[in-house]
Amino acid sequence: MNLKGRSFITLKDYTPEEIGYLLDLAADLKAKKKKGETGSSLKGKNIALIFEKPSTRTRCSFVVAAVDEGAHPEYLGKDDIQLGHKESVEDTARVLGRIFDGIEFRGFKHKTVEDLAKYAGVPVWNGLTDDYHPTQILADLLTMKEHFGYLKGLSFVYAGDGRNNMANSLMIGMSKMGVNFTILAPKCLWPKDELVTLCQGYAKESGSTVTLTENVEDVKGADTIYTDVWCSMGEEDKAAERVALLKPYQVNAALMEKTEKDTTIFMHCLPAVKGNEVTEDVFESEASVVFDEAENRMHTIKAVMVATLGE
């Protein structure tokens, strides 16, 4: 499958077949790395890593993935370039596109990464924006596939802030890949109707479902329970209000038991605030695959770069 020259901004832009191809490629690259084999598909390439927001997994994954495949990654923090301050995003994009072969962006406004992709003339990869976090979803899908052996027909529950970038992106990815997707959240934190309708369309095509609920009993039958922090970066002032609102949706032993399955796994994109969205005992339990997910960020990001930029 040829994805050369494509940007990776949101999974809306990728077909289920293309997503499946990236997952297979990631699994292959992971197996090779475990044997000590790295590639040279990005040899001679220079990659710009733009970070408005700090990061552990995204930054480390892009750096190691790039180096493994022979590329040179250049980290550009918010104080290193003039992006959107003294120089417009469009002009910065056109400059960086002349110098670099690919650009990763992690920051706030989704429009920034869209504009970079529009003007740079090279592949641009979304490392997280306020609206979407597509590389995380690839890692989540790979982790589920490794654990269960398949994706289509699994039941997935996301508990917590149902309108953040993770909930949005999980709903897109799961509905496209035939996973039955449920958001368990107070109604005031449900995603936008427009996105729900779009994902219900994807689900119809893939033979799955998208459900929004406030009822914790609806986790029954879930293969995966997923959560994220209750306050995203930049929302710290809402902490007390969110804790009060979301406490009933905490992933704890009682909620895990409500699935009535002893095979249910717990997932989290990290970092976690233990004692808020998840209890320490669930986080550290046998059911938790959070560090498999964290590692899989690197393998899936490598697959995205190899597929869109590699020789």
Query: 72 pairs with which residues across the strands?
Result: 46
168 annotated as belonging to a binding site for a ligand:
no
Structure tokens at 210: 């998208």
Tell me if residue 6 is catalytic: no
270 is in an annotated binding site: yes
Does 133 appear as a known binding residue? Answer: yes
Q: What residue has token string 């007390």? A: 240
Residues 94 and 66: beta-carbon distance below 8 Å:
no
- 305 is an annotated ligand-binding site residue: no
Would the annotation count 250 as a binding residue?
no
Q: Which residues contact 265 (CB under 8 A, 6 or more apart)?
A: 144, 147, 223, 224, 225, 287, 288, 289
297 is catalytic: yes
191 labelled ligand-binding: no
Given 161, 228, 231, 299, the catalytic residue: 228
How far, in Å, CA of 252 to CA of 241, rounded?
A: 20
Judge whether 276 is annotated as a binding position. no
Is 41 labeled as ligand-binding?
Answer: no
Set 106, 110, 242, 299: catalytic member: 106
Residue 106, annotated as binding a ligand: yes
Cα 30 from Cα 61, distance rounded (Å) = 13
Task: Tell whether residue 123 is among the known ligand binding residues.
Answer: no
> 297 among the known binding-site residues?
yes
**Contact (Cβ atoms closer than 8 angstroms) between residue 19 and residue 1:** no
Find out whether 242 is annotated in a ligand binding site: no
Give the tokens for residue 270.
């990290």
269 is catalytic: yes
- Does 24 participate in catalysis according to the annotation? no
Task: Specify whether 59 is catalytic.
Answer: no
The active-site residue, picked from 59, 268, 297, 299, is 297
- Is 94 annotated for ligand binding? no
Known active-site residue 250:
no
Give every strand in the sheet of 124-128, ordered side by side: 72-77, 46-51, 102-106, 124-128
How many whole angstroms separate alpha carbon 285 and alpha carbon 80? 41
Q: Which of 59, 133, 242, 299 is catalytic?
A: 133
CA 52 to mean position of chain CA atoms: 17
Q: DSSP for 231-274?
A: S-TT-GGGHHHHHHHHGGG-B-HHHHHTT--SS-EEEE-S---B
Give which of 101, 135, 118 is closest to 311, Cα–Cα: 101
Q: 58 among the known binding-site residues?
A: yes
Q: Which of 68, 115, 136, 223 is catalytic?
A: 136
Q: Biggest alpha carbon distance in the chain?
A: 56
Q: Among 140, 223, 268, 269, which one carries the catalytic annotation?
A: 269
Measured in Å, how far apart are the chain's first and last C-alpha atoms? Answer: 13
> Binding site for L-ornithine: what residues are annotated?
165, 228, 232-233
> Binding site: what residues are annotated?
55-58, 82, 106, 133-136, 165, 228, 232-233, 269-270, 297
> Binding site for carbamoyl phosphate: what residues are annotated?
55-58, 82, 106, 133-136, 269-270, 297
Residues serving a catalytic function are 106, 133, 136, 228, 269, 297
